[in-house]
Amino acid sequence: MGSEECVPKELRVRVPTYEDVRKRVLETFPQSVVVPRGIKKQGRERVRIYKYLVKCERVFQVIASEVSRVARLPKTDAMHPFYAELIRAALGDEYDAVVERARRCVKVVSRLWKEYRSKILSSYTGSEAKDLARQFVGRALSVVRRSLRGVERLITALSELRKLPCIDLSSPTMIVAGMPQVGKSTLVSALSSAKPEIAPYPFTTKTIIAGHLDLGFTKVQIIDTPGILDRPIDEMNPIERKAIAALTTLNAIVVFLMDPSPDSYYSFDRQVRTLESVSSLIGRDRVMVVFNKVDKVGRSRLDECKKLLESKGFSVELEISALYGYNLDQLVKKVLNKLGVQLPS
């Protein structure tokens, strides 16, 4: 499906745990060393010293390259806020702390290697070199162990992020929200030019659906969020709440769909309460209230629902029928307008 290609590639690297590094170090150290003839001429002890020097150099290279994988991860302030917020939702400040520790680790181990390199070089016997080599490996690994504390959680978080569908962070975006059965999926399918892509939304048990509306001069991204923006905030856990707030970093308008039918799946009152919740999370000025299913609702009922909303300080911006395609062109126009996208004349 190609969704893996969408998370920025700096976040797609394999990140090692301390155990991974240790294992590679323990594999590297015993590997045989070819001794150049010039060294051999210098006698048995010099040969052994040379071997430990090379072994340690290899260990240092392994550690430096493995830990650099973590050290080279971008800090949250160097990412698009959407990813930064998602990562902070799951890990708080721990992500940046791990990256910072890894950066320091590379420096500390380099310094340590410099120190031990000259010690090994100036040792007199092979067994002295061997002791120094053991010391170096032990000390270097213990620096790595302390530095990579918490990296497991970071690995889990990154693998969650990789499951995200391709979200275009710069395209104008219409997020479709509303309680179950109001017609979100029907609307997204009606507007999307290609089949919308379904994938898990990181750090929630929910999925997110991304589609596109191709207008020729521009593309509008359409995101359906079943189970995400469809219930009161107090029913969400803190991580979920933060993950949802990440959506506000997109250039997006939330179309809050409501079903005003008398026989709607959730009562209109409940829908209003959810609207209040979603608005407080996303910001009222980014939420557009739209009545769906107007094909089957009488005028007097519509007016009654409108009044109720107005008493709560909301106004209905449009009436549509996702099923029959009524007013969908108007919906797109209004969304583009709110997103500040110029229509070609």
Ligand X SMILES: Nc1nc2c(ncn2[C@@H]2O[C@H](COP(=O)(O)OP(=O)(O)O)[C@@H](O)[C@H]2O)c(=O)[nH]1
Of these partners, Mg ion, ligand X, none, which one is at the site of residue 323 (CB under 5 to 8 Å by kind)? ligand X
Q: How many residues bind ligand X (CB under 6 A)?
A: 16
The Cβ-side half-sphere exposure at 137, using a 13 Å CA radius, reads: 24
Of positions 180, 262, 283, 298, contacts ligand X by CB under 6 A = 180
| CB 223 within 8 Å of CB 172 | no
Residues 145, 319: Cα–Cα separation, whole Å: 59
Residue 293 tokens, joined = 């299913």
CB atoms within 10 A of CB 182: 28
Of positions 17, 28, 171, 185, contacts ligand X by CB under 6 A = 185
- 28 phi, psi to nearest 5 deg: -75, -45
Residues 95, 90: Cα–Cα separation, whole Å: 9
Residue closer to ligand X, measured from CB, 165 or 178: 178
Residue closer to ligand X, measured from CB, 16 or 211: 211
Residues 149, 265: Cα–Cα separation, whole Å: 48
| Longest CA–CA separation in the chain, Å | 103
Asked whether position 206 contacts ligand X by CB under 6 A, the answer is no
What minimum distance in Å lies between the beta carbon of 189 and ligand X? 8
Q: Closest residue to Mg ion, Cβ-based?
A: 185
What minimum distance in Å lies between the beta carbon of 184 and Mg ion? 5
Using alpha carbons, select from 163, 205, 213 the residue that is nearest to residue 188.
Answer: 213
Of positions 17, 28, 110, 185, contacts Mg ion by CB under 5 A = 185
In the chain, how many H helices and how many E strands? 12, 7
Asked whether position 226 contacts Mg ion by CB under 5 A, the answer is yes
- 260 phi, psi to nearest 5 deg: -85, 5
**Which range of residues in 65-73, 176-184, 195-203, 299-307 is near ligand X by CB under 6 A?**
176-184
**Which range of residues in 71-79, 170-178, 224-232, 316-324 is near Mg ion by CB under 5 A?**
224-232
Residue closer to Mg ion, measured from CB, 56 or 176: 176
291: CB partners within 8 A, 6+ apart: 257, 258, 259, 260, 297, 302, 305, 316, 318, 319, 320
| CB 279 within 8 Å of CB 271 | no
Of these partners, ligand X, Mg ion, none, which one is at the site of residue 296 (CB under 5 to 8 Å by kind)? ligand X
Residue closer to Mg ion, measured from CB, 51 or 184: 184
Asked whether position 207 contacts Mg ion by CB under 5 A, the answer is no
Asked whether position 184 contacts ligand X by CB under 6 A, the answer is yes
Asked whether position 103 contacts ligand X by CB under 6 A, the answer is no
72-76: long-range contacts, CB 8 A cutoff, minimum separation 24: 72/10, 72/13, 73/10, 73/11, 73/13, 73/15, 73/99, 73/102, 74/8, 74/10, 74/11, 74/99, 75/99, 75/100
Of these partners, ligand X, Mg ion, none, which one is at the site of residue 186 (CB under 5 to 8 Å by kind)? ligand X
Of these partners, ligand X, Mg ion, none, which one is at the site of residue 183 (CB under 5 to 8 Å by kind)? ligand X
Of these partners, Mg ion, ligand X, none, which one is at the site of residue 182 (CB under 5 to 8 Å by kind)? ligand X
Residue 301 tokens, joined = 């009922």
What one-character-per-residue DSSP string does 255-292 give? Answer: EEEE---TT-SS-HHHHHHHHHHHHHHH-GGGEEEEE-
What minimum distance in Å lies between the beta carbon of 207 and Mg ion? 10
Of positions 84, 199, 322, 335, contacts ligand X by CB under 6 A = 322
Restricting to residues 247-306, name those near ligand X by CB under 6 A.
292-293, 295-296
Where along the sequence are the contacts to ligand X (CB under 6 A)?
178, 180-186, 226, 292-293, 295-296, 321-323
**What residues line the site for Mg ion (CB under 5 A)?**
184-185, 226
